[in-house]
């Protein structure tokens, strides 16, 4: 028997109460607002803000403690003094451990901290320009779930994610580009 079938059979055999309310899925619209910095300084280098969809999955270890996987991707324009240098995509899956206050109330605020791995892809920059493909950094999060039905929640969320990459010209490093976005989101969550 395949491992996936064994796992599915074990989950199906669990009492419904063993899984009740342990998982939450949210879908958000988020604004990724980079807080750009460079080292050494390259004056005028910037990365565009973008609105994108985001999805996350939270597993509640206890009523107060959740582990969240956050998934989304965006395509940003990179500019120098307002002139386009091209575009690139990034995929920054992020995992946070959250503390949920008042888990039995209608309004459920939470704080989280964690890590992200960012993969840069579909890099289409001006001739000779490139970026390192991988980045690891921290993440902080604050948000609130507001009950609108038995298992449905309006969600407001803000994250600070540390993302950086080396920018190179013909293989030689020019600068380290810190994108470090603040990510504001609003969405809907369903607990099951």
Beta strand 134-147 pairing with 152-161: antiparallel
Predicted local confidence at residue 9, as pLDDT: 52
CATH number of 21-191: 2.40.160.20
More confident residue, 25 or 6: 25
**How would you classify residue 21: left for phi > 0, otherwise alpha for psi between -120 and 50, otherwise beta?**
left
Predicted pLDDT of residue 103: 87
Measure CA 147 to chain center. 23
pLDDT in tens, 48-94: 999 999 999 999 999 999 999 999 999 999 999 999 999 999 999 99
Q: What angle do CA 128, 180, 160 make, to 5 degrees?
A: 155
pLDDT tens for 107-152 read 999 999 999 999 999 999 999 999 999 999 999 999 999 999 999 9
pTM score:
0.85
Q: What is the percentage of the chain residues whose pLDDT exceeds 90?
A: 86
Strands 107-125 and 83-91: antiparallel
Chain CA centroid to CA 168, Å:
26
Specify the DSSP class assigned to residue 93. -
Q: What is the pLDDT of residue 4?
A: 45
Tell me the domain boundaries of the chain.
Answer: 21-191
Q: How far apart are CA 164 and CA 83, in angstroms?
A: 21
What's the pLDDT band for 96 if we cut at 50, 70, 90? very high
Q: Which residue has the tokens 């509640």?
A: 60
Three-point CA angle 44, 50, 55, nearest 5°: 140
Residue 120 exposure: Cα atoms within 13 Å on the Cβ side: 22
**pLDDT of res. 19:** 47
**Dihedrals phi, psi of 16, to nearest 5 degrees:** -55, -35
Residue 103 to residues 62, 126, 189: CA-CA distances in angstroms? 10, 50, 15
Segment 24-50 mean pLDDT: 96
Q: What percent of the chain has pLDDT over 70?
A: 89
Q: What is the mean pLDDT of residues 162-189?
A: 96
Q: Between residues 36 and 4, which one has the greater pLDDT? A: 36
């Amino acid at each position: 028997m395949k491992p996936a079938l064994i796992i599915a059979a074990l989950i199906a055999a669990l009492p419904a109460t063993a899984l009740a309310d342990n998982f939450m899925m949210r879908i958000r619209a988020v604004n990724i607002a980079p807080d750009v910095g460079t080292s050494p300084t390259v004056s005028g280098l910037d990365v565009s803000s973008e609105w994108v969809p985001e999805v996350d999955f939270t597993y509640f270890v206890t009523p107060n403690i959740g582990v969240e996987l956050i998934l989304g991707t965006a395509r940003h324009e990179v500019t120098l003094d307002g002139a386009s240098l091209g575009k690139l995509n990034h995929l920054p899956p992020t995992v946070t451990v959250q503390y949920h206050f008042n888990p039995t109330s209608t309004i459920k605020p939470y704080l989280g901290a964690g890590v992200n791995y960012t993969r840069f892809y579909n890099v289409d920059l001006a001739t000779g320009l490139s970026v390192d493909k991988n980045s690891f950094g921290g993440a902080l999060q604050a948000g609130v779930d507001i009950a609108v039905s038995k298992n449905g929640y309006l969600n407001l969320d803000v994250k600070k994610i540390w993302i950086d990459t080396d920018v190179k010209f013909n293989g030689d490093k020019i600068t380290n580009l810190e994108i470090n976005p603040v990510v504001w989101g609003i969405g809907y969550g369903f607990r099951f």
